[in-house]
Amino acid sequence: MLTIFKTMKHTTHITVALVLGTMAFTPTLSSSAQEVEPGFKSLFNGKDLTGWAGRPQHWSVEDGAITGTTTKETPAQGNNFLVARDGDKDLVVGNFELRCSFKFTGDWGNSGVQYRSVALPNFVVHGYQADMEVGPNYTGILYEEGGRGILATRGQKVVIQADPADPNKPKIEVVGSLGDPKEMGAAIDPHQWNDYVIIAQGNHLQQFINGRQTIDVVDEQTAKAAKSGILALQLHAGSPMKVQFKNIRIKTLSGPSAGGADLERLQGDWTPTAVVANGQSLPTDRLASVKLTIKANGYSMEAGDNSSQGRFKLTETASPKAMDVTTDSGDEIPAIYEAGADTLKVCYALNGAARPTEFKSAEGSDHVLAVYKRKAQ
């Protein structure tokens, strides 16, 4: 299911890739926009804290923005949070896309957006946090408040699994890069309005600031990975500070992007029966030695004396269904797929080409169409 065939100067090279990766899209929004996009629901009326609950000495509305403030007279007394409400109970989110804008006032500040989190007494919250600060290190990272700590720093693509030596601890593997973290940080002015986008589907978490993705995480530590929980805004303990949020809206997403029924269907061993690269069919005798093995969201490929491994992500809700592959060497390959009981059809895009929209490989397209058959046991 995850083999990529490159044709170069009359020489066909078999390269393998499958699993994980980032969809080729960069969510962005206008920080001055007041209208809610189709499918989104506003969580803030721009006037007061209706629909939110927190410590009144720390949270208010100023200039049409939710404002968290601490002073020498009213210190934070530990990190505390403004919690989103749904009527008389806390708002619970699962698979969603959240959009908001934030900025700080002053020389110091640390805050974040909590999601899929757990509420504790006195407006304390633990769980996933899309971090932000007045400083060079933390804005855009994924932090787990009251839990596993930093899960991904800015610019990292990460897979989290249980540590074999201690299942309660995470084993964090960096599987790719989204760019230079210092360059990303330099482009964010914490004293101006910045747009934050958070997308959570299944165990796949993505965060974007001003249209640029900052982290990509697949959390496979089952005992720790939250699938749902509350939404909240953080006010960090420390020196006096002021942080503001506005244009907060959310859209519910369907189904986990990491794959559901299709992922189960793909488990096992596969062999290619036909491959077309840039309009040219590969000889069947070159396919005989190829074996693809899929286990969970990982794959390994053997082709004669060569081998390759990696990870992949399925998006069953896309049309056509989408696959994103990341090899262990860091190559990222977008694709589309169709999965049957014993057959699998995948069309890959190589060399930076756009994701295919149909199962076709034409000359000069840099698209590779591969058909696989389940290997007999």
Would you say residue 97 has pLDDT above 50? yes
Same domain, 155 and 14: no
In a domain, 32, yes or no: no
End-to-end CA distance of the chain: 17
In a domain, 48, yes or no: yes
In a domain, 112, yes or no: yes
Same domain, 195 and 271: no
Residues 226, 253, 103, 120, Cα dihedral to 10° = -30
DSSP state, 185?
H
Same domain, 14 and 50: no
Burial degree of 334 (CB within 10 A; 0-12, 13-18, 19+): buried
Same domain, 225 and 334: no
What is the model's pLDDT at position 12?
A: 33
Q: What is the CATH number of the domain that holds 282?
A: 2.40.128.280
In a domain, 35, yes or no: no
What is the model's pLDDT at position 11?
A: 30
What is the model's pLDDT at position 110?
A: 97
- Taking a C-beta distance cutoff of 8 angstroms, is the pair 33, 24 a contact? no
pLDDT for 14-54, tens place per residue? 333 333 232 333 454 443 345 688 889 999 999 999 999 99
Same domain, 57 and 203: yes
pLDDT for 117-130, tens place per residue? 999 999 999 999 99
Same domain, 80 and 225: yes
What is the model's pLDDT at position 18?
A: 33
Q: Tokens 């269904």 appear where?
A: 321
Domain containing residue 65: 44-90+96-252
80-86 vs 52-53, strand pairing mode: antiparallel
Alpha carbon distance 100, 30 (integer Å):
10
Same domain, 115 and 247: yes
- For 98-109, b/e burial (b = at least 16 CB within 10 A) is bbbbbbbeeeeb
Residue 64's alpha-carbon distances to 60, 248, 303, in angstroms, are: 10, 12, 60
Domain endpoint, select from 223, 252, 281: 252
Q: How far is CA 324 from the centre of its chain?
A: 12
Domain endpoint, select from 252, 286, 302: 252
Same domain, 292 and 365: yes
| pLDDT classification of 212: cutoffs 50, 70, 90 | very high
pLDDT for 167-198, tens place per residue? 889 999 999 999 999 999 999 999 999 999 99
- Taking a C-beta distance cutoff of 8 angstroms, is the pair 220, 73 a contact? no
| The overall pTM is greater than 0.85 | no
The mean predicted confidence, pLDDT, of the chain is 87
What is the model's pLDDT at position 186?
A: 95
Domain endpoint, select from 206, 235, 252: 252
Nearest Cα to Cα of residue 31 among 211, 194, 234: 194
Same domain, 263 and 310: yes
Q: What is the CATH number of the domain that holds 68?
A: 2.60.120.560
Would you say residue 365 has pLDDT above 90? yes
What is the model's pLDDT at position 9?
A: 30
Percent of the chain whose predicted confidence (pLDDT) is above 70: 88
Alpha carbon distance 46, 322 (integer Å):
38
- Taking a C-beta distance cutoff of 8 angstroms, is the pair 11, 211 a contact? no
Would you say residue 257 has pLDDT above 50? no
| pLDDT classification of 303: cutoffs 50, 70, 90 | confident
**How many domains is the chain built from?**
2
